[in-house]
């Protein structure tokens, strides 16, 4: 069991759209022998065929809406990559996916630095205290000064970085990198695997061969940079990396393959294997013999022909074997897990066994919710919940044809169970209309599309002016909360928790200031059963 657990590396790649996540994922799959041709993972432009995108709308828009899980073997390791949607409108899905990861790779566009979406996702990794590895991409073209990038990472994200390799050159034009650990220079090469490697005879950057190869000017600059890093930079400290306080920093170029394989090899040697997980009754070690896991994602109708619903389970301990019977904490019932699948690009394969760290997709007849715990032993427990973040866009939605109300409600309920939308009850609007909240407006389009295509319901949608939501924790009744009049509304979410909606940050601040005895939470409190 321990051998199987320690050879597993389960991680997610986080980045701002266009930083090169698809390209990097694809190159990792190529090195793992999981695919043979570049360009098979996802078409980046509209109309290109998309293998990791299941839904028609993804193909139409050329974006990745849903996240998938990909796995392959490399040098004896089992790599599980949790793919996450790049588009910020689907960030909620990414947040949930991160709960299933043991580490994260933060991909940064070298010319753009730390962008908005990366910041958001980084903070979720921080909350989970998982190790973060940074890959600065697109080194083949103009990139910011690497010292400035280190500074930016520290200032905007509050994490110090420790460069594993370092760009050779100056003013944003680089020839390759110097690998500090292996004391070798790795130069761009247009053919082969994208790099020419020359190891230092001196065991350090001070090597006459480097000077003649790079020219005196660039060589001197490199020596100065490395000296500065050795003296003033953060030392590599495994403990700090594991606790998410220090990020190993790599420079490379996914498109040209440059630095991808060295990154992969270094990453799998440092990145943690599955660790212990906290739950309501203590901790579970991954090598424990009893099976345990939790549902972090539900996806319906991945295959319209079968109208199926798949629950993605992160295994936290023990071994999955086909047909295993487990307990379902929330319903206190036994469930048989048969027909579990793993995912490889577009293909799904049925699996016989899986271990802690693996992700399995099980057929869900409508019993699973996001965050549900499954366990095989005698002790009942719940893993820590999956954070639910407030929606940022709201709309009143109803079925165009009142006779389709039943399908409409069924569709809304199922899509809400997948976590793609949040449903609110508002006291003063008719029963035919629901208030729906989403993290990004594109999710409204997905909702409309899915209701039409999967549930055959056309809807009308009226955008509401609210932009901020906070869960209220208070002994006061909503009417007793003092607010700036007119700009708020109090609703109930699908778990009957009171939520206050605001039209602008000013009103929210005002409410927070005038109600010191009320907690305005931006992460949903636990559901009271
Ligand atoms: P994403 O999943 O993070 O959104 O990014 P994706 O991999 O789709 O890459 C976004 C763009 O950046 C693509 O260009 C891709 O080719 C380019 N790119 C990725 N890695 C590198 C790199 O190392 N160097 C350079 N120079 N470019 C890189 P595109 O023009 O949008 O698409 P395409 O025409 O190349 O398919």
- Pocket-testing residue among 39, 40, 44, ligand 1, by greatest number of atoms within 8 A of Cβ: 44
Q: Model confidence over 132-158: pLDDT tens digits?
A: 999 999 999 999 999 999 999 999 999
- HEC string of 162-212 equals EECEEEEEECCEEEEEEECCCCEEEEECCCCCCEEEEECCCCCCCCHHHHH
Q: Model confidence over 278-333: pLDDT tens digits?
A: 998 899 999 999 999 999 988 876 665 656 788 889 999 999 988 899 999 988 99
Least confident of 57-66, 409-418, 494-503, 508-517: 57-66
- Pocket-testing residue among 110, 255, 257, ligand 1, by greatest number of atoms within 8 A of Cβ: 255
What's residue 204's pLDDT? Answer: 87
Please state the rounded mean pLDDT for residues 236-257: 93
CB 177 within 8 A of CB 263: no
Q: Kindly state the percentage of the chain with pLDDT values over 90.
A: 44
Of the candidates 405, 476, 401, which has an alpha carbon nearest to the alpha carbon of residue 434?
A: 405
What's residue 451's pLDDT? Answer: 92
Q: What phi and psi, each to the nearest 5 degrees, are found at residue 318?
A: 70, -160
Q: Give the atom of ligand 1 at the shortest distance from the alpha carbon of 258.
A: 23
Checking if the pLDDT of 51 tops 50, the result is no
What element of type H or E holds 270?
helix 260-270
Max mean pLDDT range (116-120, 135-139, 168-172, 502-506):
135-139
Tell how far CA 521 is from the center of its chain: 22
- Does residue 22 line the site of ligand 1, with CB under 6 A? yes
Residue 343 pLDDT grade (very low, low, confident, very high; cuts 50, 70, 90): low
State how far the Cα of 120 lies from the Cα of 113, in Å rounded to an integer.
14
Identify the burial level of 399 via C-beta atoms within 10 angstroms of its C-beta, where 0-12 means exposed, 13-18 middle and 19 or more buried: buried
Q: Name the 3-class secondary structure at 360.
A: strand
- Does residue 260 line the site of ligand 1, with CB under 6 A? no
Residue 459 pLDDT grade (very low, low, confident, very high; cuts 50, 70, 90): very high
Checking if the pLDDT of 180 tops 90, the result is yes
Span from the CA of 19 to the centroid of ligand 1 (angstroms): 7
What element of type H or E holds 408?
helix 405-417
Q: Model confidence over 87-109: pLDDT tens digits?
A: 666 677 778 888 899 999 999 99
Q: Model confidence over 369-405: pLDDT tens digits?
A: 888 999 998 888 888 878 788 899 999 999 999 999 9
198 compared with 289, residue with greater pLDDT: 289
CB 207 within 8 A of CB 201: yes
Q: What phi and psi, each to the nearest 5 degrees, are found at residue 498?
A: -70, 135
CB 313 within 8 A of CB 362: yes
Structural domains of the chain, ranges and CATH numbers in brackets: 2-62+87-270 (3.40.50.300), 277-375 (2.40.30.10), 393-521 (3.30.70.3280)
Checking if the pLDDT of 73 tops 70, the result is yes
Residue 34 pLDDT grade (very low, low, confident, very high; cuts 50, 70, 90): low
Sign of CA dihedral 364, 366, 372, 378: negative
- Does residue 254 line the site of ligand 1, with CB under 6 A? yes
C-alpha distances in Å from residue 431, one per residue of 84, 237, 428, 435, 464: 36, 58, 9, 10, 17
Through-space distance between the first and last CA atoms of the chain, rounded to whole angstroms: 36
Residue 253 pLDDT grade (very low, low, confident, very high; cuts 50, 70, 90): very high
Identify the burial level of 236 via C-beta atoms within 10 angstroms of its C-beta, where 0-12 means exposed, 13-18 middle and 19 or more buried: middle
What's residue 46's pLDDT? Answer: 33
């Amino acid at each position: 069991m321990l051998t199987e657990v320690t050879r597993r590396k389960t991680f997610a790649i986080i980045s701002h759209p266009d930083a090169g996540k698809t390209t990097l994922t694809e190159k990792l799959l190529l090195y793992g022998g999981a695919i043979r041709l570049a360009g098979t993972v996802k078409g980046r432009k509209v109309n290109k065929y998309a293998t990791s995108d299941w839904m028609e709308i993804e193909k139409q828009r050329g974006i990745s809406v849903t996240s998938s899980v990909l796995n392959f073997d490399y040098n004896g390791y089992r790599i599980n990559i949790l793919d996450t949607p790049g588009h910020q409108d689907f960030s909620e899905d990414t947040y949930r996916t991160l709960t299933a990861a043991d580490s994260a790779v933060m991909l940064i566009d070298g010319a753009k630095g730390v962008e908005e979406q990366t910041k958001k996702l980084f903070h979720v990794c921080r909350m989970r205290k998982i190790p973060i590895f940074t890959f600065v991409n697109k080194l083949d073209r103009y990139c910011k000064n690497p010292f400035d990038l280190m500074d930016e990472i520290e200032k905007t994200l509050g994490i110090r970085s420790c460069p594993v390799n370092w760009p050779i050159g100056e003013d944003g034009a680089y020839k390759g990198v110097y690998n500090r650990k292996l004391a070798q220079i790795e130069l761009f090469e247009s053919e082969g695997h994208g790099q020419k490697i020359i190891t230092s005879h001196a065991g350090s950057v001070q090597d006459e061969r480097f000077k003649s190869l790079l020219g005196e000017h660039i060589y001197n600059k490199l020596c100065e940079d490395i000296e500065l890093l050795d003296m003033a930079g953060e030392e590599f400290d495994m403990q700090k990396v594991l606790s998410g306080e220090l990020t190993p920093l790599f420079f490379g170029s996914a498109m040209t393959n440059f630095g991808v394989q060295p990154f992969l090899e270094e990453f799998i040697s440092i990145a943690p294997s599955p660790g212990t997980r906290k739950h309501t009754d203590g901790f579970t070690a991954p090598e424990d013999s009893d099976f345990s896991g939790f549902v972090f994602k539900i996806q319906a109708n991945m295959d319209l022909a079968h109208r199926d619903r798949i629950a993605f389970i992160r295994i936290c301990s023990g071994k999955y074997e086909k047909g295993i019977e487990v307990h379902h904490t929330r319903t206190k019932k036994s469930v048989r897990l048969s027909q579990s699948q793993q995912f490889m690009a577009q293909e799904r394969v049925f699996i016989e066994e899986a271990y802690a760290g693996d992700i399995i997709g099980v057929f869900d007849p409508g019993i699973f919710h996001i965050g549900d715990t499954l366990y095989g032993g005698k002790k009942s427990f719940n893993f820590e919940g999956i954070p639910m973040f407030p929606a940022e866009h709201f709309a009143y939605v109803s079925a165009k044809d009142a006779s389709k109300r039943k399908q409409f409600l069924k569709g809304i309920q199922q899509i809400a169970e997948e976590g793609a939308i949040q449903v609110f009850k508002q006291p003063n609007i008719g029963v035919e209309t629901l208030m729906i909240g989403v993290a990004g407006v594109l999710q409204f389009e997905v909702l409309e599309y899915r209701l039409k295509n999967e549930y055959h319901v056309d809807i009308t949608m009226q955008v509401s002016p609210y932009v901020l939501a906070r869960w209220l924790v208070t002994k006061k009744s909503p009417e007793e909360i003092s607010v700036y009049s007119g700009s708020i509304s109090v609703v109930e979410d699908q778990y009957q928790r009171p939520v206050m909606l605001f039209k602008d940050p000013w009103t929210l601040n005002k409410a927070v200031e005038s109600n010191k005895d009320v907690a305005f939470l931006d992460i949903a409190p636990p559901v009271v059963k």
